[in-house]
Amino acid sequence: MQLATRARRMAAVVVSAGLVLSGCGLGGSNDSSAGTDGKVTGDVTGTISFQTWNLRAKYADYFTGLIKQFQTEHPGTTVNWLDQPADGYADKLSADATAGALPDVVNLSPDLAVPLYKQKLLLDLDVAAPDAVKDYLPGAWQGFAMPGQAHSYSFPWYLNTGPWFYNKKLFTDAGLDPTKPPKTYEELRDQALVLAQHTNGAIAMFGQTPSIEDLGLYGVEAMNKEGTRFTFNSPKGVELVNLFKQMYDAKALLPEALTATYTGAGKKFMAQQVAMNSGSAYDLKNFRTDAPGLYANIGITTPMTNTGHANMYLQGVSVSAASKNKATAIAFARFVTNARNQLAFAKIVTIFPSTAGTLDDPFFTEDDGTDDARVRVAAAKQLATAVNYTPVAFTDQMKTILRNELANAMLGKESPQAALDSAADQCDKLLTS
């Protein structure tokens, strides 16, 4: 799947919970590390395997060159590159883990790392490579902290975040200031109600109900510190759902948004029937081509947040705890994710680096007037302090549960408190199932 799309997903499909710890990685046998209980040391030599997630088709030249450079800098090393298709990636990870054949270095999203972590198949990188944390953005490093843990189990790789687009003309027509789009959820609610009243509900502010990210952006703690139960049914969580309920009742939200399979908000935005929508540089290009009237009035702003920190979506590179060449695997994982190579990768695909200081590069700070640059600069500004608000244990099934319960709250079938209580209870049961 496309990198920008995958990095913006809340969660990937869930790896089977039935993984077992057995066997070893695909590497050689020259490691002299301290194992998984301490800092990994030893010569960087021998053979390792490196698995990516549907990247070969478009980025083969980049990865071939990357591997060649590493092998040149470290004589005696061999990196065997594996690339798996997007469909069935979680199942492939499960099968490899069960067979004791998990690659030495493997591309993972946070949710895909959780089942492997639970079976002790991934290295604790705060222990195995304690000097690495300083090289990455704090929010990105913490994005791979496992449930109830402070330690990371993946070197952060590429990030993404979505700026919001808004229609300046629709704002102006409703008497709203087109230079001051909403920055907080309260401002969103207030402006949405003005828009709905002015248009008699014909124009919605946007087309989505709250997600787990919205709860985080509002300041709701989604889980307890131990990672054993969900806590988004707190009074603050209820506050946010009440805000959305007010907007829904005023027809400031698209009614279709309550349907779990609804994907039409973007089209409604292009048709100028919705005033705000999240997106990417790809969308801006589409507006210019397919919706020139919208493009002429497009505004770009940061996502609403009551915490002062935007949301990030991230991918990482983990190291198998069973690798026989841990020193080489760690060295290669850090090489893939170092500042130089992340910057080079970001210049050929619409993603952002997770390394400390790299977002200060002119590529991310200077707007040359192109659509790509307009969105890239806007997004980069918010990533330096962004947070992954989606708990690593929050699965697609849990996402559906939350959405369904909140739809009931919007429709008045349940109170916001009852809806959140039900969602938290169902999600808690899945944690232990």
Please report, for the chain, the start and end positions of each structural domain, with discontinuous segments joined by +: 3-161+312-383, 164-309+395-431
Confidence of residue 36 (pLDDT cuts 50, 70, 90): low
Rounded to an integer, the average pLDDT of 54-58 is 93
Confidence of residue 101 (pLDDT cuts 50, 70, 90): very high
pLDDT the model gives residue 358: 96
Which CATH superfamily is 3-161+312-383 part of? Periplasmic binding protein-like II (3.40.190.10)
Q: Which residue has the higher pLDDT, 17 or 257?
A: 257
Within 10 angstroms of residue 432's Cβ, the number of other Cβ atoms is: 7
* pLDDT of amino acid 189: 97
Domains 3-161+312-383 and 164-309+395-431 agree in fold:
yes
pLDDT tens digits for 213-225? 999 999 999 999 9
Least confident of 47-51, 182-186, 255-259, 287-291: 255-259
Domain 164-309+395-431 is classified in which CATH homologous superfamily?
A: Periplasmic binding protein-like II (3.40.190.10)
Percentage of the chain exceeding pLDDT 70: 91
Region of poorest pLDDT, from 191-195, 255-259, 423-427 = 255-259
Residue 270 binned pLDDT confidence (cut-offs 50, 70, 90) = very high
Report pLDDT digits (tens) over 157-189: 999 988 899 999 999 999 999 999 999 999 999
